[in-house]
């Protein structure tokens, strides 16, 4: 039986590429929005989901921080994809013909130099690959797309300029979502645990809640705060730490965190991607 993995975007998007990299041979399910992708996984129309959570240049993907905690889904893995954008135009177009360029807001923000160099009008679309499809449909030589090369192949566009991202270290981290958490004993490899929490309304609550990670020698790789339901007083924290909840030191740290928090929800414990070793070496 063919397995299905969902992603947000249209065929040719970076999320599509990530799906093919990690799960070659699986059927991909493109979704118009993150909310639709989450629903596809939760309802069983897809076995897994490949969801971007942060980019090295653009920062966090804000929608995910709001959808994930209440989705009931679990993180079972992560993947780091180097991001490359190409300037795509209709067949026969030249850069001198261009007047405007279309893409996702993050792609436009990551390719500012080429947009400025050629004096192009940047127009935001819902998706990188979707902008390539639209440019192909318009058939207008003055309009271009910023998208992965796969989108050029799918929609029959010419690559007018390659690797136009502002920085060559541009990279997106994806999380792999499932209806069920990873089962079985703890794998004998570096692990990550992701969770969200809200502290109690007492003095120094955040300081005390996080103190257990320091005293128990748990390395925290991410700590982000964001408002809940648009309320300034309601702040939730998203955290990545090294280790597994079954590890004695992390178990003690989580116990201390729970004491000073209103809620603690573990979103997943999963193997760290090998790319993290490069990050640790500064390469």
Q: Give the residue from 227, 222, 245, 197 showing the smallest Cα distance to 69.
A: 197
- pLDDT surpassing 90 at residue 203: no
Both tokens assigned to 129:
């690959």
What are the structure tokens assigned to 81, written together?
Answer: 């994809």
Write the pLDDT tens digit of every residue in 224-249.
988 776 666 657 899 999 999 999 99
| CATH 3.30.70.260 residue window(s) in the chain | 191-281
Please give the positions annotated as active site.
172, 174
pLDDT above 90: percentage of residues in the chain: 74
Average pLDDT estimate for 193-202: 89
Residue span(s) of the chain under CATH 3.40.190.10 come to: 4-82+171-178, 86-161
Q: Can you tell me whether residue 94 is helix, strand or coil?
A: coil
Ramachandran angles phi, psi of 122, nearest 5°: -90, 125
Place domain 4-82+171-178 in its CATH homologous superfamily: Periplasmic binding protein-like II (3.40.190.10)
In 3D space, the residue among 54, 74, 66, 71 whose CA is nearest the CA of residue 234 turns out to be 66
Q: What is the CATH number of domain 191-281?
A: 3.30.70.260
Percent of the chain with pLDDT strictly greater than 70? 96
- Find out whether 241 and 192 touch, Cβ atoms under 8 Å: yes
List pLDDT tens digits, range 78-118. 999 999 999 999 999 999 999 999 999 889 988 999 999 99
Class of domain 86-161: alpha beta
């Amino acid at each position: 039986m063919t397995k299905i993995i969902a992603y947000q975007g249209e065929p040719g998007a970076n999320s599509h590429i990530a799906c093919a990299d990690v799960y070659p041979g699986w059927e991909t399910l493109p979704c118009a929005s993150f909310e639709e992708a989450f629903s596809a996984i939760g309802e069983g129309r897809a076995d897994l989901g490949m969801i971007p959570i942060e980019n090295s240049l653009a920062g966090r993907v804000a929608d995910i921080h709001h959808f994930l905690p209440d989705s009931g889904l679990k993180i079972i893995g992560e993947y780091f994809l180097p991001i490359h954008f190409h300037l795509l135009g209709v067949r026969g177009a030249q850069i001198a013909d261009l007047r405007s360029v279309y893409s996702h807001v993050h792609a436009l923000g990551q390719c500012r130099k080429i947009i400025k160099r050629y004096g192009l009008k940047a127009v935001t679309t819902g998706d990188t690959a979707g902008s390539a499809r639209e440019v192909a449909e318009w058939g207008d030589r003055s309009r271009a797309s910023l998208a992965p090369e796969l989108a050029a192949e799918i929609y029959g566009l010419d690559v007018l300029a390659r690797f136009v991202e502002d920085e060559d270290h541009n990279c997106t981290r994806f999380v792999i979502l499932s209806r069920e958490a990873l089962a079985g004993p703890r794998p004998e490899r570096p692990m990550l645990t992701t969770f969200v929490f809200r502290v109690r309304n007492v003095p120094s609550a955040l300081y005390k809640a996080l103190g257990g990670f320091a005293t128990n020698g748990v390395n925290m790789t991410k700590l982000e705060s964001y408002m809940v339901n648009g309320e300034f007083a309601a702040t939730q924290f998203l955290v990545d730490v090294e280790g597994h909840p079954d590890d004695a030191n992390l178990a003690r740290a989580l116990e201390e965190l729970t004491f000073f928090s209103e809620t603690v929800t573990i979103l997943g414990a999963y193997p760290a991607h090998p790319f993290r070793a490069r990050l640790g070496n500064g390469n």
